[in-house]
Structures are given as structure tokens and as C-alpha cells.
Structure 1
Amino acid sequence: MSIKIASSATAMSTLGGFIIVFGFFAFNLLSHGSLSETNDGSVLGLIAVNCILASSGASLTALMYNRYSDKHTHKWSLLSAINGSLVGMVSISAGASTVYPYGAFLVGLVAGVVYSLAAKLVERNRVDDPLNAIAVHLGGGTWGIVSVPFLDSDHGLFYKANILSMWLIGWNLCGLLVIIIWTLIWAALIFGIMSALNCLRVTSAVERQGLDVVQHGEKAYPYEMTGRSRSASMATVGDNRGQTDDVQQPIAESNDTAYATVQEEDDRSLKEPVSMSQISEADPVSAV
């Protein structure tokens, strides 16, 4: 069962998203690799415009998809708009200098839908991806690579249906396959070693206490300032001594989603630091 965890710092997420979007301008502009040659100014200007249009289009469709596809909330989601803008930047990176502005906007519109569908697929398969990085980078990046052979202003299939445009499709698909294989090999190697060394996941006791408290001795999120405690934002059902996983079940409360209060013994465990002996004895949380 998927566990819905309420966001704890939407303002910081917004700031972080803005910083990443701004960084993509530098990434895509500098990827041109030239500033002094003839026509560099027009190419750089095209890249900047395409980045804005693709980011805006993806943010729009991601926002609309979340608003009208969720039958339970029907709300405008700021976080969906932020991730939409990011996936737009990711998707246009492959063809930022080679597509027309309206083509960049089209790339962004489709990227927002791709992101939304990929995020649903990841969640349905119980993959632990709290940042939706798979949907943003794998989904948006895949669509971006595939879109270039169709929307390239010089040799795109939509403009010049010839043998070269067909070759472009083949080469881009080949490049996409190489990227996926290269990523899978290194991801399996790195995470496999971490899993073998038992340092990939923390224990359930540490998860409930929070790494901010266990590792640093400080609370990262001042819940007292908002009038809500950590225990009021999630429900933990089951005895940690008899189960390896904590099951959290959301319950409806007024107009928003709230979570049941943790049992008294769990509430006390959140206030009292977890000793290292308790951490070592607790069962590790199995990877989702």
C-alpha cells in the first residue's frame, strides 16, 4: 500500500524548483559551446526562448492533469506545477537549439502529460521515489530525445520526410538505449554495493524518529511553530516489535487529508531520542 506523506516545506520546494529551472538556462545555453561565432547570438536567444516555452507548457499540462484527473481532491497543486516546469526543462535539453519556439512549447505540453503518467506508474508499482525524479528525468528525458527527430527545424520528419530524418530517429533511439544501459549498470553496481554493506536504508526506528534527530540531534522541521506535531501528520499501525514495516493509513478530516494520531508509546518515542542499541536491534525497512 502506498503511503501518502504530507509535504513539510512547500516554500523551500518552490525555491529549490526555481533554482533548478534557473540552472537549466545556464546548462542549455552553455551546452552550445560557442559565444563568438557568427549567428551565436540568435542561437542562444532561441535556446533561452525554447527553455521558457517548454517549461511553461509542461508546467501547465502537469497542473491541469493533476487538477482534473484526481477525483478526490480536484485542487490546483503547486508541487505538480513545479515538477512540470522541471520536466519541461529536461525534455527540451535535447533539442533546445534545433526546434522552433512553437515546437518547444509542444514538447513541453507533451512532457507534462508524460511526467504525470510516469509519476502515477511509479507510485502504482510502489517504487520509493519521493521527489518524482524518475518521472521528471527518465520520463522527460526519454520524450525529449524521441521528439527531436520529428521537430528538428532542419531535418525533422514533420518538415522533411526523407532518409536522413529516418536515420535521425534510429540514431536517437540508439543513443537512448545506450544511456539507459549505462545508467542501469552503474546504478546496479552502486546500489548493490550499498545494499550488501547494509547502508542503503535506515531502520524503521530511525525513519520514525527522523535522521535530523538521530544523526544531528536537531529537528529539521519545527512542527511546534505550525501547531502540529510530527505524530499528528502520520499514522503508524502495528507493533514494531512484531513487524518489520510500519503501515500508515490516511483518514479523512474536514476538507483536507489528515492522519490518525500515533499510539502513546509511538508518540513518546518521537519525543525521546532513539539510542544506538535500539537502532541496531530494530529490523531494517525492506526496500519498496
Structure 2
Amino acid sequence: MAEEELFNFTAYCLEVEEGSQSICDLWAHVDATVSVQGGIITGVDTFFLLFAGALVFMMQSGFAMLCAGSVRQKNVKNIMLKNLLDACGGALGFYTIGFAFAYGGQVDDKSFIGTGNFFLTDITENQEYAGWFFQFAFAATAATIVAGTVAERCKMSAYLCYSVFLTGFVYPVIAHSIWATGGFLTAFRTGYDDHFRGMGVIDFAGSGVVHMTGGTTALIAAVVLGPRRGRFYDEDGNPLETPHQFQAHSVALQILGTFILWFGWYGFNPGSALVISSEGSAQVAALCAATTTIAAATGCVTAMFTDTIIDMMATGEASYDLTMAMNGALGGLVAITAGCSVVQPYAALIIGMIGGWVYLGFSKLLIKLRIDDAVDAVPVHFANGMWGVIAVGFFSDPKLQAIAGYNITSSGLFYGGNGDLFICQIVAVAWIVAWVTVVMTPFFFLLKLAGMFRVDPLEEEVGLDISHHRGAAYDLTGPNKDDVEELMEVRASKHGKVEVPKEVVQAADDANDAFVTEEVAA
């Protein structure tokens, strides 16, 4: 029935006689109840978005712990500061121009980039602030991916430049093209029947938009910046027969970071439903939580045991690599992010399994190409981001597409799709790689030509904590050797002869020698 044909109770009640007031009293109660219910729904949806955004922001601490554990002890302060500044720079960049470029302008405007709401000046409802907060957390994640790859050799000035540029311009263009209703690849456009190939791209939570964007940027930065000293070449520049492996200084921090990231992914994927008050949105969020968990677990197991089998075939001994397990789990998480709302649990298992193999293969490929990634962020985010976007073209279930809000004309190839969705997914991968490469490659080369990209060789050798941040991250000074001996003498005078444990004296000597060395270097 058309809206103008509905009975107008408000007008009727203004003119009704006093003796017929009962129906109007009932109408007033119904109207008030509907108003309250609407407020509750808005509040629940706003809380859901804020909570999910907080979980995504919590991933910053996961990245910080993972990076801090993966680098050498002499560079911990540096990488921690960069992770902190990712959050700060991302917030300021996304507040000023990033959010406007990504989502600004009229809802039905078809455009290459957003054109309104700079400095959040056009926001009229409090719920829109929650939307900005949620999207800012995603933008900051894209920037953080790069910091780990170029760790231990990148200048702070270069880091600040690319971080702001990425969150303020490069990432927003990708987000607008796929997630905004006016984007040329979006599946959410309203008011138009000319979606790309009649449908658009499915990237529910950002395998491509976030992870591929950050991973492609990290790959370009690693190639332009070059490897760490001693990683692939000796002091004379000759290739090493076997690349040198820099040991992570704290596996405890690595595994802590991995678990925090996994935890944060429950805001990343289920939170991308954006609302929770309807039956359909609740179903989408619940499915995302299940598929996310399955893919992460499968990626972990697949990467670790595949690496174990390969190593056992070469050496005859079985060993289990924690790094493979952790990054395999993260690879599975990245891979399922695009299709978490439109694939069945069995498909999540397959996607995570292949994600573990994708990580393992791409990690070994980088070493063969002598590309130095300090934390293996490129195999995790770039390679598995690409696989995640493509996987949707195989496994997307048309029934789940409808529940998730995708009103499109095709489905995954394994569900009888005509190939249009698969083509859209391939185009999205090509578009992200092309855009980031065309924009970021000259950007990094300009930084390199200006002498702003890489630290001095001596500073790199000493460590960025001492050369750039006023001292080491850890206080490694032990007890004074003379004080230890004096303590033992005092105890001996009271309790008889007490032997000073050799390891105590040696530990004191070693700690003080290390402290003196650091002081001299500083």
C-alpha cells in the first residue's frame, strides 16, 4: 500500500470527540513503544560497532607484540614507537582527509573518490561517529602491516611520510572503490543498475581492501629499501650461499601478539556486519565468527606440518617451527576475511588450508628472490589477501550472499555461478595491485633519492634503539661483581665458608661487559 493511503491516526486523534478517546490512547502508547524500540535498536547497533572497532584497534597491540618479538633486541624501541604512531597518524590522517576520500559525498554518487565530509564536518548523527571510529581502525591496520616488513632499517622520517600518505590517500581510494556505495567495483551501489558485470566485488571485511593494500605497499617498500645488512650479502656485497637468519629475540612476545591479533579478528570480521539488531545481521556475525576460527586453526596446522614434512624429507629429523604455526594462523585469518560472511564452514576449512600453503610458499619465494621481510608480513597479508579475494569466486554461497546483503546476479563457481563473480574478484586483485604499485613505487623511490628512507649502516649495525631512541629497550645491567663477592664474604663470616657460584660471577661479568659496550656505542 502506498504511504499516502495509510490511515493518519495523528490527524484523527486531533479531531476525535472526547467520548471516543480510547483508540487514541492506545495509539499514543503504541507510538511511544515504537519510538523507544527504535532508540534501543540504535543503541544496540552503535554499541556493537564501537565494541567491534575497539577489538580491531586492539589488534594494534597484537602487531606491536608480534613485531617486537620478531626483531632483534637492539631494535625493539624503534618498532614499538612506529606501531604507536601508526595509531596516532592513522587517526589524524583519517579524520582530516582519509574518511572523506573513502566515504564522503552523496550516497548514490558514482565517483572515483569521495568528495565531502572533510574533518567530519558533515556528520549529523552520533552513530556516524561510531562508523568513523570503526573505519579508522581498519585504515590504521593497513599502515601497521608495512612497519613490520621494513623494521630494523627504515628511518623514522620515511615511516611517518608513508604512514600518513597510505592512510590519508592510498587506502581510502581502494576503500571507496569497493566498499562505498559510489565505488566503481562495489556490490552495494544504490540507485544504479550498472554494477561492474552486474554485481561488483565481494570483500566483506577486507582481504583485499585492507590486507592486500598494506601487503602490496610492504612488498614495494622492501624491494626499494633493500635487505638488512648481513641477511643475503656479506660485508663486500657478495651473495651468501645460505641467507643468514636473524633470530627473533622473544618468542613469548611473538605468540602473545599472534593470540591478540586472532582475538581482534573477531571484531574485524563479525564486526563488518556493522549492525546486530536484526535476525539477518546476527546470523551474518555468528557465521563470520565460526568461519574465522576454522580458517585460522586450519592455516596454522597446515603451514606447520607441511614445513615439518619438507624438513624431515631433507634432514630425516622432525622439527616443529613456531613461526610457521603463528604465521600460518594469521595467513588463514587474512584469507577468510573477504568471504567470511558468504562461505560455509567446510569452505572456510579449505580456504584456511590453502592459506597455510600460500604463506609457506610465498615466504620461501621471497627468500629466493632475496627480498627481506623482517616479520613475514608480505606472505601473510599480500599473498593471502590475494588468495582470500579469489577464493570468494569459488566458494561464495548464493543463499549466504542474500543474507549478507549482496543483491547480485552470480555466485561462486562451485555453486553454479556463471563466472561473473570470479571475474569481479580477479579484477579487484588487479586493481589493488595496480593502484598501490603506481602510486607507492615512485613515492618510495623519491624518499630513497632524498636520503630519507634508510638509516646509516653504522646506525643499523648498532641498533636503532641506541642510535635513534636514547638507549636500549631493556636494562641488562646485572649486579656489580665486587658487590656479589662482598655479599658472599659477609654470609661466609656468619655461616662458614660459602662458595660463590661460578655462574653468578660470570653472569655479573657478562651483564656489565654488555652494559659497558652499549654505553660506549651510545
Q: TM-score range by the shorter chain?
A: 0.7 to 0.9
Q: Which amino acid aligns with 1:273?
A: A
Match of 2:276? 35
Aligned to 1:256: none
The whole-number CA distance in structure 2 between the counterparts of 1:126 and 1:174 is 29
Q: Distance in 1 between matches of 2:340 and 2:348?
A: 7
Q: CA deviation at 1:171?
A: 0.6
Q: Normalization by structure 2: what TM-score?
A: 0.42
Matches of 2:332 and 2:452, distance apart in 1: 34
Give the Cα–Cα distance (whole angstroms) in 1 for the partners of residues 442 and 270 of structure 2.
Answer: 33
Task: Measure the CA separation in 2 of the matches of 1:62 and 1:224.
Answer: 39
Distance of aligned partners of 1:222 and 1:119 in 2 relative to their CA distance in 1, 3 Å threshold = farther
RMSD value, Cα: 2.1
1:180 aligns with 2:424: no
> Does 190-199 or 8-17 show the bigger shift?
190-199
Identity %, equivalent residues? 29
Q: How many residues align?
A: 230
* Paired residues of 1:208 and 1:270 also in contact (CA < 8 A): no
8 Å contact from structure 1 (residues 62, 80) kept in 2 = yes
Aligned partner of 2:414: which letter? F
Q: How far did residue 187 of structure 1 move?
A: 2.4
Q: Secondary structure at the match of 1:97?
A: coil
Residue 520 of structure 2 aligns with which residue? 272
Residue from 94, 103, 123 that aligns with 2:367: 123
Residue ranges of structure 2 left out of the alignment (5+ in a row): 1-239, 399-410, 479-515
Report the equivalent of 2:306.
65
Structure 1 runs of 4+ with >2 Å offset: 70-74, 220-225, 268-272
Separation in 2 of the partners of 1:87 and 1:223? 35
The yes-or-no answer on 1:93 pairing with 2:349 is no
Q: 1:224 to 1:9 in 2, by over 3 A?
A: farther
Q: 1:8, 1:221 within 8 Å by CA — same for their partners in 2?
A: no
Distance 1:101 1:224 in 2: 52
CA contact (8 A) 1:149 1:156 kept: yes
TM-score, normalised by the number of residues in structure 1 = 0.74
CA shift digits 1:110-162 (9 cap, x unpaired): 000000000000011111201111100111011111111111122221122x4
Higher helix share: 2
Structure 2: how far apart are the matches of 1:109 and 1:222?
42
Superposed CA deviations along residues 20-72 of structure 1, whole A, max 9, x for unmatched, are 22222211112122222232222111000000000001011111122122235
Q: Which one-letter code corresponds to 1:97 in the other structure?
A: S
The structure with the larger Rg is 2
* CA deviation after TM superposition for structure 1 residue 218, in Å: 2.0
Q: Does 1:51 align with 2:292?
A: yes
Aligned equivalent of 2:415, options 150, 159, 166: 159
Q: Is the 8 A contact 1:59 1:81 kept in 2?
A: yes
SS of 1:120's equivalent in the other structure is helix
Contact 1:209 1:269 in 2 (8 A): no
- State the match for 1:81 in structure 2: 325
| Cα distance change on mapping 1:20 and 1:186 into 2, 3 Å | farther
Cα distance, 1:269 vs. partner?
6.8
Q: Does 1:168 align with 2:409?
A: no
Give the distance between the partners of 1:221 and 1:15, measured in 2 at CA.
18
Task: From the superposition, tell whether residues 180 and 68 of structure 1 become closer, same or farther in structure 2 (CA, over 3 Å).
Answer: same
Check conservation: 1:87, 1:136, Cα contact below 8 A.
yes
The corresponding residue for 2:379 is: 135
Give the whole-Å Cα distance in 1 for the aligned partners of 2:476 and 2:334: 34
Give the Cα separation in 2 of the matches to 1:128 and 1:90.
21
Name the counterpart of 2:43: none
Give the 5 Å matches for 1:248-263: none
- Cα deviation for residue 219 of structure 1 reads 1.8
SS in 1 for 2:274: coil
- The 8 Å contact of residues 54 and 92 in structure 1, kept in 2 or not, is answered as yes
Distance 2:426 2:448 in 1: 32
Deviates more, 1:33-42 or 1:208-217: 33-42
Identify the residue that residue 167 of structure 2 maps to in structure 1.
none
Question: Which structure's relative contact order is higher, taking Cα pairs within 8 Å and 6+ residues apart?
Answer: 2
The DSSP-based 3-state class of the residue aligned with 1:107 is helix
Counterpart of 1:218, as a letter, is G
* d(CA) in 2 for partners of 1:8, 1:205: 21
Change (3 A) 1:151 1:223: farther
Matched, 1:114 2:358: yes
